[in-house]
């Protein structure tokens, strides 16, 4: 529980859209320099500048940029588009220039570039491209270097674990098609996932199409629709993938067009298997499975003929029978069986190594190709020489080459399966959205005329959706009708239900607790807040931690060094055998000195695993950010993970962070002689029709006094809810009034001194006092509090033992803040702080040399979250420790494995590692690193939280 509230990073504000929006709004800045008259400003010419801003991830980032610009003299207005990565500034050139504005943006940590032609230039665009075929960090480095030299590409990141590239580029100079061609020129397959404009995609399955003409007709009709960017038709499976602009069209339009063309013969539906990255991942898994199975079909007989049947006398005699001269049936059979494995199934390794070498790099494919070719072609030479000789006894290693390829394919198959599980958390995030929605049909006057249940993916902009109690909101939108409270904690981090009425915004994936709402969809598909959070998590998984640069530097030299090492191993053992520097007894009876040296060389080459190094950091980050996201924690990426373990000061917000954010009754004081059960029966009956969170807390508490589980409250007449004050109702012929001081004074109900004292006492204890009057006479006071989260006091104590200072910075009043601080053990408290003041406090602490983490709800705390060194859970230290563990394993594996494979233990122990076992070990290394990262999914709170002693009291 404690780890949950130590847990927030930059969360996108629900108001983030593609429009240039000035929100989040900070206190107004001076729009012209002090001492300068307005008349002079008006005389001066106003100018506009457009900047490309790289590095923004959320609305808090946009707010930081906006604030930095508005601080400058002569700024009329500044608006920042976080999704478009641009900032538009209106300014007075007499007082400030473009370069000064650009420098101000860069001073807050973002890369800014002036876009000269403000009218015709478009914002820097970001596209994501899937890349198939990468095997190690050498591959990612090759692709990155090729992309970064393309004109107008500002930034290119390639992630091995996700097999994706994220590229920021100028669409007026280069297109995403050219970027994909550049990637394919490096030898990898490129698949477009999304572009800056083309973020909404949907897959449809079409039944009834029988001819190519019908297929082309459907494709052309869809392409002609306004807002459709691309149509990709798969005739084999009768599926179509569409990229579109959701503000112009939507999936129901596509289905309507398709079905109207076939005169009832064509049926279209949402593709049940999904599409995009998931389908490509499934295809990759399927390809590796097929390759592995075919490889085993040929490899198992090779293994049996070389290692099993040679010990069965009758079969051995048949295999040793000569075909031509000294060429045996067994040798010829192994040659025939291993050739398809080497050249057909193993073709991917030839292709990969050839294209890597063409670009001046060496990857894992090069090691595999060299190792298997050495074994295969030496064996082929040995068999051919035996066929042309009457006394040469052949010794082949066909089992080595075929088993090497089979084990490597097995490792890659297990690896892609495991890597698929690292991103399961993103799928769980998307599952927050409901599967179905109730679509309303309205007449011209806005009256409901019909209701239909549809797949939530079919919702289009401006649709009106009915949301009933206990159901999730299907889409971001505006409430048109109804009142309710919506739990938005899964999106915003605010645990307290938020009241919603006509005109209020709601977020898709949040839970409607009570009341019926009619919501007009405003942002659907990939525009929604939930999709933005998913993109933020994906971006975090793409980002490289600084520690990963270590692996990237190693990968540049790793494969060449391994090749040199293996050649040196072969040459050393060969020369040692040639000049008899070791006893002949060392040589096994089945091989000669040359073959022994060749085995050592091949083993040293194929045991090296650059994949493990490349996967050590990204897989841990993927799982760490994914697990965090599933718990409501958004981590900005590897940089934040690496900084987390250096934090020595944590700034806490209060509500929803240190406290639960859900009110509960903590005390009841009666001023008249009456039974507590009867008191709560009257109060609960009056409050049962109220939707206010405090009313729900009272009703929940009153249930404890029920005589029967399903007992109903007394009948209520004349119920009146006074917004922000309380309720009035007639219960059992008694006039019941429940509310605050204002309501009592408004109803001319006298508040006795003792009741005033109880209210003041409650406020000093950070509680809300509710007055209850029966027939205009105060009979009791109910104290309601937002309780401290379980484990909050323990966590603060542990942080103190770790020499980490804790501070509360909250917008709440001093009385409440001091009470909460005293209860959890925090002495330094800043109350009644506005969002920008929270950020200033963070900066003040940083100026004192502290590494600051900010823990807040992600909305009003967003400026402070950005200003802090890290805005995430201190528990993320667990992710960084797993990264270090992965590196220890990957480096240790290579540092120990290569010498053992090279024969370091052979002289003293006689132990040697056959090449096929070395290949299996290499495959297992990559899988083990990914599985190590997957263990993060089982993260639990530290055991020391279970047994704590605080203020002399043992906490169990």
Q: List residues with catalytic annotation.
A: 653
Provide the 10 A C-beta neighbour count for residue 832: 11
Length of the chain, please? 956
Structure tokens given for 382: 């040995």
Residue of 610, 540, 641, 504 whose CA lies nearest to 134: 610
CA 907 to CA 905: how far, in whole Å? 6
Q: Beta partners for 129?
A: 165, 192
Strand partners, 192: 129
Long-range contacts for 686-690 (Cβ within 8 Å, ≥24 apart)?
A: 686/716, 686/719, 686/727, 686/728, 686/729, 686/731, 686/736, 686/738, 687/727, 687/738, 688/713, 688/716, 689/716, 689/719, 689/721, 689/727, 689/729, 690/721, 690/727
Query: Helix, strand, or coil here: 506?
Result: strand
* Alpha-carbon dihedral angle through residues 302, 306, 308, 311, given to the nearest 10 degrees: 150
Q: Which residue has the tokens 């841990």?
A: 620
Residues 6+ apart with CB under 8 A from 863: 24, 26, 60, 63, 64, 67, 835, 836, 838, 839
For residue 211, give the 3-state DSSP assignment: coil
Distance CA 277, CA 258 (A): 25
* Cα 657 off chain centre by: 22
Number of other residues whose CB lies within 10 A of the CB of residue 79: 17
DSSP states along 579-616: TT-S-GGGS-TTS-HHHHHHHHHHHHHHH--HHHHHHH
C-alpha span between 525 and 821 (Å, rounded): 42
Give CA–CA dist 653/812, Å, rounded: 10
- 3-class SS of residue 636: coil
Question: Following DSSP, what letter does each residue of 777-837 receive, concatenated?
Answer: SEEEEEEEE-PBPTTHHHHHHHHHHTT-EEEEE-SS-HHHHHHHHHHHT--EEE-S--HHH
Which residue, chain included where needed, has tokens 């702080």?
A: 833
Helix axes 610-630 and 877-901, enclosed angle (nearest 10): 160
* Nearest-angstrom CA–CA distance, 194 and 564: 42
3-state secondary structure of 376: helix
**Token pair 């697990």 in the structure block, residue:** 627
- Angle value at C-alpha 389, between 388 and 393, nearest 5 degrees: 120
Structural contact between residues 426 and 534, judged by C-beta atoms closer than 8 angstroms: yes
Q: Which structure tokens are listed for 845? A: 């602490």
Question: What is the number of other CB atoms lying within 10 angstroms of the CB of residue 608?
Answer: 28
**29: preceding bond cis by omega (within 30 degrees):** no
Return d(Cα 445, Cα 172) in angstroms, integer: 45
Q: Report the largest interatomic distance among the alpha carbons of the chain, rounded to a whole angstrom.
A: 121
For residue 95, give both structure tokens: 């007082």
DSSP bridge pairs for 91: 47, 75
């Amino acid at each position: 529980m404690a780890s949950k509230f130590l847990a927030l990073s930059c969360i996108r504000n629900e108001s983030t859209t593609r429009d240039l929006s000035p929100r989040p709004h900070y206190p107004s800045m001076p729009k012209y320099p002090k001492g300068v008259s307005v008349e002079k400003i008006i005389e001066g010419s106003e100018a506009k500048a457009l900047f490309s801003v790289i590095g923004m991830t959320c609305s808090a980032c946009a707010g930081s940029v906006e604030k930095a610009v508005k601080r400058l003299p002569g700024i009329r207005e500044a608006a920042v588009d976080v999704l478009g990565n641009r900032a538009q500034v209106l300014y007075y050139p007499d007082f400030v220039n473009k370069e000064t504005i650009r420098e101000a943006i860069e001073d807050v940590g973002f890369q800014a570039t002036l876009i000269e032609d403000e009218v015709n230039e478009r914002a820097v665009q970001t596209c994501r491209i899937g890349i198939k075929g990468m095997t190690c960090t050498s591959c990612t480095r090759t692709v990155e270097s090729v992309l970064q030299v393309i004109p107008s590409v500002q930034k290119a990141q390639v992630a091995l674990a996700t097999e994706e590239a994220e590229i920021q580029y100028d669409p007026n100079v280069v297109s995403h098609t050219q970027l994909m061609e550049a990637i394919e020129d490096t030898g990898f397959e490129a698949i477009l996932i999304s572009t800056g404009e083309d973020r909404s995609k949907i897959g449809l399955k079409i039944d009834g199409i029988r001819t190519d003409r019908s297929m082309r007709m459907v494709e052309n009709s869809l392409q002609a629709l306004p807002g459709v960017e691309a149509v990709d038709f798969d005739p084999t499976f009768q599926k179509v993938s569409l990229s579109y602009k959701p503000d112009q069209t939507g999936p129901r339009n596509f289905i309507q067009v398709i079905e109207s063309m076939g005169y009832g013969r064509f049926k279209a539906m949402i593709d049940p298997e999904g599409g995009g990255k998931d389908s490509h991942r499934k295809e990759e898994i399927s390809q590796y499975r097929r390759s592995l199975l075919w490889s085993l079909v040929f490899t198992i007989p090779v293994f049996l003929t070389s290692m099993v049947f040679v010990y069965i006398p009758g079969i051995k005699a048949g295999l040793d029978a000569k075909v031509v001269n000294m060429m045996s049936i067994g040798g010829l059979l192994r040659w025939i069986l291993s050739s398809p494995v080497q050249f057909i199934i193993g073709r991917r390794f030839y292709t990969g190594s050839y294209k890597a070498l063409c670009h001046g790099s060496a990857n894992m494919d090069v090691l595999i190709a060299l190792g298997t070719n050495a074994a295969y072609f030496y064996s082929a030479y040995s068999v051919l020489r035996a066929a042309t000789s009457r006394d040469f006894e052949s010794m082949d290693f066909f089992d080595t080459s075929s088993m090497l390829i089979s084990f490597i394919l097995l490792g890659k198959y297990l690896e892609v399966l495991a890597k698929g599980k690292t991103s399961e958390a993103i799928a769980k995030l998307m599952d927050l959205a409901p599967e179905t929605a109730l679509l309303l049909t309205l007449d011209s006057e806005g009256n409901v005329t019909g209701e239909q249940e549809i797949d939530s993916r079919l919702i289009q902009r401006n649709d009106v959706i009915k949301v009933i109690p206990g159901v999730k909101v299907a889409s971001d939108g505006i409430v048109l009708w109804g009142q309710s409270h919506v739990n938005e904690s899964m999106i915003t981090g605010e645990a307290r239900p938020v009241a919603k009425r006509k005109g209020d915004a709601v977020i898709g994936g949040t839970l409607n607790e009570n009341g019926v709402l009619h919501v007009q969809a405003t942002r659907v598909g990939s525009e929604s807040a939930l999709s933005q959070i998913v993109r933020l998590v994906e971006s975090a998984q793409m980002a490289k931690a600084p520690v990963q640069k270590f692996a990237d530097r190693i990968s540049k030299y790793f494969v060449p060094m391994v090749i040199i090492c293996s050649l040196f191993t072969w040459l050393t053992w060969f020369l040692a055998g040639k000049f008899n520097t070791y006893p002949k007894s060392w040589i096994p009876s089945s091989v000669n000195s040359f073959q022994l040296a060749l085995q050592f060389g091949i083993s040293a080459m194929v045991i090296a695993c650059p994949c493990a190094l490349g996967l050590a950091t990204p897989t841990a980050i993927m799982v760490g950010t994914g697990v965090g996201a599933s718990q409501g924690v958004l981590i900005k990426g590897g940089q934040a993970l690496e900084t987390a373990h250096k934090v020595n000061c944590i700034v806490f917000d209060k509500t929803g962070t240190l406290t639960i954010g859900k009110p509960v009754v903590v005390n009841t004081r009666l001023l008249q002689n009456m039974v507590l059960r009867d008191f709560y029966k009257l109060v609960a009956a009056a409050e049962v029709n109220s939707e206010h969170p405090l009313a729900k807390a009272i009703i929940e508490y009153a249930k404890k006094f029920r005589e029967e589980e399903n007992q109903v409250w007394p009948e209520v007449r004349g119920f009146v809810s006074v917004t922000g004050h309380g309720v009035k109702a007639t219960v059992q012929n008694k006039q019941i009034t429940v509310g605050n001081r204002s309501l009592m004074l408004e109803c001319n109900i006298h508040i006795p001194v003792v009741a005033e004292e109880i209210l003041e006492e409650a406020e000093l204890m950070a509680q809300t006092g509710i007055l209850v009057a029966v027939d205009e006479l105060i009979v009791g006071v109910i104290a309601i509090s937002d309780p401290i989260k379980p484990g909050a006091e323990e966590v603060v104590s542990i942080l103190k033992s770790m020499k980490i200072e804790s501070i509360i910075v909250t917008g709440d009043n001093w009385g409440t803040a001091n009470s909460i601080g005293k209860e959890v053990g925090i002495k330094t408290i800043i109350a009644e702080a506005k969002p920008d003041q929270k950020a200033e406090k963070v900066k003040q602490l940083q100026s004192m040399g502290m590494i600051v983490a900010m823990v807040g709800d992600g909305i009003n705390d967003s400026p402070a979250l950005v200003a802090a060194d890290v805005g995430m859970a201190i528990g993320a230290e667990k992710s960084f420790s797993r990264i270090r563990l992965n590196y220890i394993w990957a480096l240790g594996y290579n540092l120990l494995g290569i010498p053992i494979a090279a024969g370091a233990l052979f002289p003293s122990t006689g132990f040697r590692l056959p090449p096929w076992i070395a290949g299996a070990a290499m495959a297992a290394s990559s899988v083990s690193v990914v599985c190590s990262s997957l263990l993060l999914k089982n993260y639990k709170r530290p055991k020391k939280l279970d047994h704590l002693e605080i203020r002399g009291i043992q906490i169990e």
